[in-house]
Structure 1
Amino acid sequence: MTLPSSRARTPVRAAAPAASAVGATAPAPAPAPAPAPAPVNVLALAVAGAVTVANIYFPQPLLAAVARGLDVSDRTAGLLATTAQAGYALGILLLVPLADTARLRRLTGTLLALTSGALLVAAAAPNALTLLLATLALSTTTVLPQILTPVAAVLAGAERRGRVVGLIGLGLTLGSTLSRTVSGAVSDASGSWRTAYLVAAVATAGLLCVLPRALPERLGVPGACRVPYGRMLAGLPRLLGVHRALRVSALVGACVFAAYSVFWAALVFHLAAPPLGYGPGAAGLFGLLTVPAALASAYAGPLTDRFGTGRVGRWALGCVGLGLAAAGLAPYAPVALAAGAGLVVLGTSACQVANQARVLGLGREVAARVNTVFMLATFGGGALGSLTAAWLYGAYGWRATVLGAASFTALGVLAASWRRSAFRA
């Protein structure tokens, strides 16, 4: 799917009249027309985002098999999930800002090669320490999703930004959701968790033949002064002070992802506890049941282009609230829980699209850096949500956990309403 570029129309200007007297002021030149949006190979970018983001999530169903295969405790194997999230956050901080100034084709090719190599090391890991180090390396370098999103938004232009961000976001949602199912099936069919890592390495390496060709040479404004790497990192906090829209979007994104993490971190335990008593397979099925909601979230992009980020963001927050209400009011009804999970996924994904579309419109020269700040805030909210879920569910049960998620959502609503003008496209 390639979105065609619209032709730039050069306005016809009448010849300027000659000055009739000494000292007459010449007419000011008309402003140059804005550059036409470039063609965007949305399908290639969405598939690349899905494949690379899957590298963070596909090991999760394999943890028990890893523990048995390497003869370690479940707690030690569980460190893989934490290491993957930590590495991803580290990569967002250290590598994503490079997209503002680096040569994109070389950068993406290097990251894909490093990620593929780390996946191969993980597949052959003789012990848990090697696997943890390989996981840290591959999760740090598999940050292409957060590079591709600002690149696509800049190439699309203002009129199509929401649509393109929504489609890339759909790829990321499907990649993170379906990767768990695929890796579990591959592991069961082959009898080894290592096969899933080999498949991931081949898929990631295959992108080397496609992705660099779908990207421009550079993202920044041609001829712009290059900012040194150290200065770029040191200037990230300043972006929050300069751009009010980034502050609001980062706060809302953190609150919504915190609510999302609270819900999903506790749902597995709630499904396994009496009176439901479901096993891991049923918990995985709940993830598949949210795929229609993830597909529906792609419409948040066109809606953002049409109605602005404010309306879509507030609608998305309301959607999360409805999902939490359904799951909290009917805690032992599987249909209500599945519907609530779908609404939470739909609202969270739509809110992310609206937020990213807003911050990525702050200028192509800082697109990757504002996305870095936004995603770091979002992941920080997710980490806080996971910690909150562990405490609330262990101490007070499911309804208190849902109420905690609802509190994060309410804080997001307050943040969005506090500076509503900063949310408008």
Structure 2
Amino acid sequence: MTSAATRPGVKRGTVPVFATATAITVSNIYFAQPLLDEIAHSFHTSASTAGVVATAGQIGYALGIVTVVPLADGARLRRLSTLLLVITTVGLLAGAVAPSVALLGLAALVLSASTVLPQVIMPTVVSMASEGNAGRVLAAVGTGLTLGALLSRTAAGLVVEATGTWRAGFVVAAVATGALLLVLPRYMPDDPPVSARGKESYARLLGSLPRLFTQHASLRVSAALGATVFAAFSAFWSSLAFHLTAPPIGLGPAVIGLFGLFSVPGALAARYSGRMVDRWGPLRVNVMALTSAALAFVLFAVAGRSLVLLAVGCNLLGFGTTSSQIANQARVFAAQPTIRARLNTVYIFSVFAGGAAGSAVAAAAFSAVRWTGVVVTGLGFLLLAAVVLTWHTKRTIHGPAGRTPAAASGRAAASDRAAARVGGR
């Protein structure tokens, strides 16, 4: 990405560094998932007991979103990023030498709570974008986020296969995360987003979160869209392995892990959605993203044994989910810079909750009616997203209660116009 995407004075190469750091740190949440069977054998315990490690990681990430990300509205970001990287690296090394599942789960809880750095980077990179390029820089970092989540499972499997131990996965992750200490802090702003005079206490930062949700229509619509689309995404990915291992497909774990690689083209294509946000505004990109995700589930419904159709659907779903995220965050970040981290806290927590709901509903649906239940679950969440988007579009065009746009297009319309201005529309 050229330096024209960022404001004068921003260090050259900042956006690629941020994207790389996002990919590496977010992978720490997911790489342990394909290692659970190896962990269970290592500690001579059941798969369900080893699953505590993955559960602890998810809980830790949720706690980190709520308790750590709001700090980015007032803390010195260079210092904060350094501290988070140190804690994550130490947590990974502790996991590598953990003598029991319980202590491994505790290490996963701590390292996941501190690996929320991508959600600190997102509002930071928007503040560094030049006029007309907010969507572009968000897309670059968002692509790193998606690639890290997709490829971490594949990379972890390869490391374990090469070394013969799951502990090597934690060591490699610790080395990669620790290496960021030599690079990332140099590119983070040294000054806090607000002056010391206007700085709020930590308690006030946390206490303001519910109020932000009620005050900002842009946050409410983006949170609803983000939660429902990610719920559909999670419903698919949490159930795919069960579908592929069951007859008549009957694939092994190694081949299943390759579906993360198969999804890379869709994730890379989503990068161009940032330019579309800059040109058209978030609303149209949301429509495009929802259409792509819906087409993916249509393909999943008719795929049968076809791995090709499943792979195409994976790319459509990845493209739609990432594009939706870019549009939603561009709308949210159109607000004043001093509250962007907290707005992102509420947004990402909503997305996270939607993903958890999607996985839970899909698990029950798969147990009841197999793959058809998963497809219906995904389409159901996307239908909810379509209802939200339709309501938001109507409100944007006509205003509430049928009033004219000039008189009462409402906060929802204002938020899209503001996001478009941030993107240079």
Change (3 A) 1:157 1:241: farther
Partner in structure 2 of residue 167 of structure 1: 140
Partner in structure 2 of residue 402 of structure 1: 375
Partner in structure 2 of residue 59 of structure 1: 32
- 1:37–1:156 CA contact under 8 A, matched in 2: no
SS in structure 2 opposite 1:275?
Answer: coil
Determine the C-alpha separation between the residues in 2 that align with 1:280 and 1:354: 34
Higher mean alpha-carbon deviation, 410-419 vs 137-146, is at 410-419
- 1:153–1:360 CA contact under 8 A, matched in 2: yes
Determine the C-alpha separation between the residues in 1 that align with 2:53 and 2:238: 16
Matched AA of 1:211:
L
Partner in structure 1 of residue 406 of structure 2: none
Determine if the alignment matches structure 1 residue 413 to structure 2 residue 386.
yes
1:3 Cα offset (Å): 2.3
Partner in structure 2 of residue 185 of structure 1: 158
Cα deviation code 1:19-64 (max 9, x no counterpart): xxxxxxxxxxxxxxxxx68456101101111111111111111111
Change (3 A) 1:271 1:148: same
Determine the C-alpha separation between the residues in 2 that align with 1:81 and 1:348: 22
Q: How does 1:4-403 map to 2 (within 5 A)?
A: 4=4, 38-39=10-11, 41-222=14-195, 225-403=198-376
Determine the C-alpha separation between the residues in 1 that align with 2:23 and 2:100: 29
- 2:286–2:327 CA contact under 8 A, matched in 1: yes
SS in structure 2 opposite 1:419?
Answer: helix
- 1:118–1:137 CA contact under 8 A, matched in 2: yes
- 1:219–1:364 CA contact under 8 A, matched in 2: no
Determine the C-alpha separation between the residues in 1 that align with 2:213 and 2:143: 27
1:341 Cα offset (Å): 1.4
1:224 Cα offset (Å): 5.4
Determine the C-alpha separation between the residues in 2 that align with 1:6 and 1:264: 35
- 1:331–1:399 CA contact under 8 A, matched in 2: no
SS in structure 2 opposite 1:209?
Answer: coil
Determine the C-alpha separation between the residues in 1 that align with 2:106 and 2:44: 17
Determine the C-alpha separation between the residues in 1 that align with 2:152 and 2:132: 32
Cα deviation code 1:376-416 (max 9, x no counterpart): 00000000001001110101121122011101001111111
Cα deviation code 1:181-210 (max 9, x no counterpart): 111111111111111111111111111111
Query: Structure 1 regions of 5+ residues with no counterpart?
Result: 8-35
SS in structure 2 opposite 1:302?
Answer: helix
Compute the TM-score of the two structures, normalised by the length of structure 1: 0.90
- 1:80–1:132 CA contact under 8 A, matched in 2: yes
Determine if the alignment matches structure 1 residue 3 to structure 2 residue 8.
no
Determine the C-alpha separation between the residues in 1 that align with 2:17 and 2:255: 33
Determine the C-alpha separation between the residues in 2 that align with 1:38 and 1:415: 37
Change (3 A) 1:224 1:306: farther
Matched AA of 1:132:
G
Determine the C-alpha separation between the residues in 1 that align with 2:214 and 2:62: 22
Percent of pairs with identical residues: 47
Count of residue pairs brought into register by the alignment: 397
Larger radius of gyration: 1
Matched AA of 2:380:
S
SS in structure 2 opposite 1:159?
Answer: coil
Cα deviation code 1:57-88 (max 9, x no counterpart): 11111111111111111111112111111111
1:374 Cα offset (Å): 0.3
Q: CA RMSD in A?
A: 1.5
- 1:158–1:361 CA contact under 8 A, matched in 2: no
SS in structure 2 opposite 1:277?
Answer: coil
Higher mean alpha-carbon deviation, 159-168 vs 398-407, is at 398-407
Determine the C-alpha separation between the residues in 2 that align with 1:324 and 1:5: 35
- 1:4–1:39 CA contact under 8 A, matched in 2: no
Determine the C-alpha separation between the residues in 2 that align with 1:123 and 1:149: 29
Determine the C-alpha separation between the residues in 1 that align with 2:56 and 2:2: 36
Partner in structure 1 of residue 407 of structure 2: none
- 1:255–1:409 CA contact under 8 A, matched in 2: yes
Compute the TM-score of the two structures, normalised by the length of structure 2: 0.90
